[in-house]
Structure 1
């Protein structure tokens, strides 16, 4: 009798182990198409206005947040937003800590080797922001100056490519763009390279403290990042983004955060 009970318990343990493993993909991340999972987690830099940031009450809000909520509703999932270290955001995705990167993520060939992307949903430029009263008018005038940038961002890659050409004295790296812009305002650096959508939004909140140079450092496209093993999930997101553009929902959300 005791032996029979022991056998039954061993079988139950094995079954529980199989069930537990069934919700993981080959890289340790979640299988988003398991019947038990009806939620995906979006990783983001929560200090990246207007794409994703915290309100005064601490709630995560923003353009990308509204898009993700609408997309989740349309595919029948719940969505959770999780602040992560942007410099390690791809690792967080592939480790299964998050299921999507939806936060002004630039599509690059280097990133495409590591993760999957939806089609582009927004086009952006890299701009140079200086203090409102600065005598700098061109990127060449950043020669022998200190320039700030968010660590791990596409802005950093762009800035490092032109550093020697311009003769930039120092690239100072920050955890987020807001800290970089605050240091610029305080005079500790002389310029910040940042995504245009972020720089322009921040300027509207800070009067004449900043000025954008006419020269840009090139355009780029934003996409939603997902694990390559979750290609079906990526296709679902891509489809709802297309649908949202076709039925006008995308433009309504865009106008809320960027105006007409």
Structure 2
């Protein structure tokens, strides 16, 4: 009798589970282009303190290169774009949980991230550039020997310079800063002789003071930026890729790039 009661209970709970499950949409189901258009918008997750890709201006508005680009894609799709600041450490989880529809904020395409999410076609090539003063005699990376070079603490620039062991070992000092602005200010004040920095960040600051800095032809490595999309959202990804390509062809991409970087920077 006891076994029979247990069997009935198991069967009952199984039926309840199946019935409640049928009423819910699978969290892993596709968010299609049609779903986005029906909603009338897509939500961009970003770190709002990453100039010039996405950051708050003096009035508290979120602005930047990626912001302008996302808005143009939204126009072509006929939907609005909502920008949602999120904790960057948890941005992938926010995407997978559908709190946001895309990650669009200078997101580097890596094999590790590819295991978790999908990516648009790469839209911007970034590299680790060397910035020096206009009057500097430094012409190439080898000239950094016995020089004091600044990097942002914990950045990909620090990693790139550290990994270039022949160069990093020859430096007088690798000086680490909490942000790139401080490093570039020390370069201007001649407390540094060079700064290694993400090109997208470096070009932005250089465009503000073009008479102070120059960039070496050599760099410390390249990477590609892409828009993070859930792997299952294939039709939405295809639509974004299509509209990004259209923006490059009609000159809109170049216009936005020159606005934020002073020149055209894109995937080659």
The one-character-per-residue Cα deviations of 1:74-120 (angstroms, maximum 9, x if unpaired) are: 22332111334445543443344432222232323333233211112
Aligned-residue RMSD, C-alpha: 3.7
Say if 1:246 and 1:165 are closer, same or farther in 2 by CA, change over 3 A. Answer: closer
Structure 2 match to 1:232: 235
Contact 1:48 1:178 in 2 (8 A): no
Mean CA deviation greater in 208-217 or 132-141: 132-141
The one of 83, 86, 101 equivalent to 2:85 is 83
1:55 CA displacement: 2.2
Structure 2 match to 1:205: 208
Q: Secondary structure at the match of 1:158?
A: helix
Structure 2 match to 1:241: 244
Structure 2 alignment gaps of length 5 or more: 1-15
Q: Distance in 2 between matches of 1:119 and 1:25?
A: 25
TM-score in terms of structure 2 length: 0.69
Contact 1:32 1:38 in 2 (8 A): no
Aligned residues: 240
Contact 1:131 1:190 in 2 (8 A): yes
Q: Distance in 2 between matches of 1:42 and 1:180?
A: 30
Mean CA deviation greater in 161-170 or 59-68: 161-170
Structure 1 alignment gaps of length 5 or more: 1-10
Say if 1:151 and 1:98 are closer, same or farther in 2 by CA, change over 3 A. Answer: farther
Structure 2 match to 1:54: 56
Say if 1:125 and 1:187 are closer, same or farther in 2 by CA, change over 3 A. Answer: same
Q: Distance in 2 between matches of 1:88 and 1:161?
A: 27
1:64 CA displacement: 1.6
Larger C-alpha radius of gyration, 1 or 2? 2
| 2:170 maps to 1:172 | no
